[in-house]
A and B are shown apart, each in its own frame.
Chain A
Amino acid sequence: MIEIRDLTKRYGSFTALDHLNLSLEEGVVFGFVGANGAGKSTTFSILATLLSPTSGDALINGKSVIKEPKEVRKLIGYMPDFFGVYDQLKVDEYLDFYGASYGIGAAERKVLIPQLLELVNLTNKRYDYVDLLSRGMKQRLCLARALIHDPKVLILDEPASGLDPRARVEMRDILRNLKSMGKTILISSHILPELAEMCDEIGVIDNGKLIAHGNVASIQAQLQGEKRIVIKVTDCLNEVRAFLEEDPLISSIDVIENRLEIAFNYRGTDADQVALLKKAILANLPIYALREEEKDLEDVFMAITKGADNQ
């Protein structure tokens, strides 16, 4: 459905996108992860036909964003990170205007608008002025606007930014609904764990380069093969620490005295871990709990981008 080939965008000497390559199947929800200025919005702007790349091309359903932008616009629904609304326009008029802008007939628009408002939970706001809506409602309205021509691809740039937790949950529910409708969704967000839950694939972009791409599990596996293990003890923190320091597979030991916890990085396999545990029990160490610290997408992102910086 989406094919990005060697996409490069330069602003003078600054390279915003550096030979980006990406291929996405139909119906996939793709999460774009990256720091501010990494190139996410530039990529989305090019896909939304708002910006020409310096070189390379992007195809949406086989249509080039450079050669056939009008065809591409029929296929995409775009929601920018920052957007405004028209003052003195009511919610249904707002949608009606954009519906007409996509060439949808008046009769069809009349049927579509209530359906879309229902989808984004704004039915009761139909005759309210758009500029009087809350930010969360405006975000949902903008999403409804992006859906009015029933696009195959949704490009959502930071759809949850600036929303309170309730509005964020509502937005997530709507996106889940859209996913079930089979839309191909490209989404960028700073709220990384939320992406992990929703996305089939994740791409990590840093300094204009796609440094990791795959499903959430495979990306997590790219983390240097080390686990972070936390053990809880009833006593003898120093003894346990000394015991752990003897193991060559263990590094970065942190003692959290007030919680009687010790955290460390472990390079060994699962079998090595079993052996370590056995050894600790035989040594009569007062360990009553052991757990592996879960790494969320934020850790993945931090680790990967740190790795890229060091290169």
Chain B
Amino acid sequence: MMERFYNPVFVKELKLRFRSFKSFSGLMFYLAVICIFIAGFLLITTGFTGKGFFKPETSFMMFAVLTILQMALVLFITPSLTAGAISSEREKQTLNILLTTTQSSTQIIIGKLLSSVAFLVLMLIAGLPLYSIVFLFGGVSPSQLISIFLFYLLTVVAIGSIGVMFSTITKRTIVAMISTYGSIIFLGGITAFFFFLTVAFHQMGNTAVGTTTSYMAYFWASINPGALMLTLTSSSMGDALAQVSGVELPVWISYLIAYSLIIVFCLTIAIKKLRANMKSNR
């Protein structure tokens, strides 16, 4: 039974990843950033005295900022783990040998993606004790934390899929990495810019694009990871967005649909293009 689900690429990738110093230094960097942020936040709110009040609202604020920070870190690290998935095999001249084995393209792509996602999940879990400091001061529910973690996972898989896709269709890792970071800038930054732009147009009373503008504003917000995290941490943010855009559908639903589509699209392209020189993709 175990043999059936055994993915050699996944196991090999994990082995190689955990033998590399880069992985440990990456993990250390990630935890150090969170530590510095939490320590800094606590010191600033207590006026560098180590004493004083720390209200639940302040704790919530720390939670919200920490959530956005963690998302930014995950978005920053994911391309470096996935954008070399296939292109590095090509650069090391190991891909041709791998492609002559009986593993299917799907198996290879999924193995590559899962190994990167597994490492990112480890990162998130390693950061969990630090993240859980918010529970000490109240103001945050465990269900909120779980939903945020599930959306982290969805985002990681989606960005990972984008990275694997670019890694498959481009010959060089550096090009794949730049393309993946470009996609992240689009999803995290440009969508936010477009959101504010469409909202501004809407508020200026541009009736010609009246209803469509509000849908557009909702669309840009619904594919922005930052916007999702804000609506997940604070329901008032969700209400405000619904008011601005006129769309009642919670952002997390459209985010789930949009990112699931991104995953399916990117993985399909990657699987189809892995054996690009062969007409049949088996």
Q: Which residues of chain A have a CB within 8 Å of any CB of chain B?
A: 45, 48-52, 66-67, 69-70, 73-74, 76, 78, 80, 82-89, 93, 97-98, 100-103, 105-106, 142, 145, 149
Q: Is the CB of A50 within 8 A of B99?
A: yes
Q: Say how far B4's CB is from chain A's closest CB, in angstroms.
A: 10
Q: Is the interface of A mostly helix, strand, loop or mixed?
A: loop
Closest 7 CB pairs of A and B: A100-B8, A101-B101, A84-B93, A84-B92, A88-B19, A52-B279, A78-B100
Q: Say how far A129's CB is from chain B's closest CB, in angstroms.
A: 10
Contact with A along B250-262 (1 / 0, CB 8 A): 0000000000000
Contact with A along B68-109 (1 / 0, CB 8 A): 000000000000000000000000111011111111100000
Q: Say how far B23's CB is from chain A's closest CB, in angstroms.
A: 11
Q: Say how far B166's CB is from chain A's closest CB, in angstroms.
A: 21
Q: Given the interface contacts A66-B280, A70-B282, does A49 sit within 8 Å of B100 by beta carbon? A: yes
Q: Closest residue of chain B to A76, judged by CB?
A: B100
Q: Given the interface contacts A89-B15, A97-B12, does A102 sit within 8 Å of B278 by beta carbon? A: no
User: Which residues 38-83 in B have Cβ within 8 Å of A in the complex?
Assistant: none
Q: Closest residue of chain B to A100, judged by CB?
A: B8
| Chain A residues whose CB sits within 8 angstroms of the CB of B93 once the complex forms | 80, 82-84
| Chain A residues whose CB sits within 8 angstroms of the CB of B99 once the complex forms | 49-50
| Chain A residues whose CB sits within 8 angstroms of the CB of B282 once the complex forms | 69-70
A83-B100 Cα distance, complex, nearest whole Å: 13
Q: Is the CB of B277 within 8 A of A51?
A: yes
A118-B234 Cα distance, complex, nearest whole Å: 65
Q: Say how far B269's CB is from chain A's closest CB, in angstroms.
A: 19
| Chain B residues whose CB sits within 8 angstroms of the CB of A69 once the complex forms | 278, 280, 282
Q: Does any Cβ of A come within 8 Å of B143's Cβ?
A: no
| Chain A residues whose CB sits within 8 angstroms of the CB of B6 once the complex forms | 100
A70-B101 Cα distance, complex, nearest whole Å: 8
What are 7 A-to-B residue pairs whose CB atoms are below 8 Å? A50-B277, A51-B277, A52-B278, A67-B280, A70-B102, A86-B12, A105-B3
Q: Given the interface contacts A78-B100, A84-B93, A105-B3, does A50 sit within 8 Å of B8 by beta carbon? A: no
Q: Given the interface contacts A89-B16, A105-B3, does A50 sit within 8 Å of B96 by beta carbon? A: yes
A74-B103 Cα distance, complex, nearest whole Å: 10
Q: Does any Cβ of A come within 8 Å of B197's Cβ?
A: no
| Chain A residues whose CB sits within 8 angstroms of the CB of B279 once the complex forms | 52, 66
A236-B172 Cα distance, complex, nearest whole Å: 69
Contact with A along B167-182 (1 / 0, CB 8 A): 0000000000000000
A84-B275 Cα distance, complex, nearest whole Å: 19
| Chain A residues whose CB sits within 8 angstroms of the CB of B25 once the complex forms | none
A299-B279 Cα distance, complex, nearest whole Å: 39
Q: A101-B98, A101-B103 are in contact. List 13 more A-B contacts (CB 8 A).
A: A48-B100, A50-B96, A51-B277, A52-B277, A73-B101, A84-B93, A85-B92, A86-B16, A87-B16, A88-B19, A101-B9, A102-B102, A149-B102
| Chain B residues whose CB sits within 8 angstroms of the CB of A74 once the complex forms | 102
Q: Closest residue of chain B to A142, judged by CB?
A: B97
Q: Is the CB of B15 within 8 A of A73?
A: no
Q: Given the interface contacts A88-B16, A101-B8, does A50 sit within 8 Å of B92 by beta carbon? A: no
| Chain B residues whose CB sits within 8 angstroms of the CB of A78 once the complex forms | 96-97, 100
Q: Is the CB of B102 within 8 A of A73?
A: yes
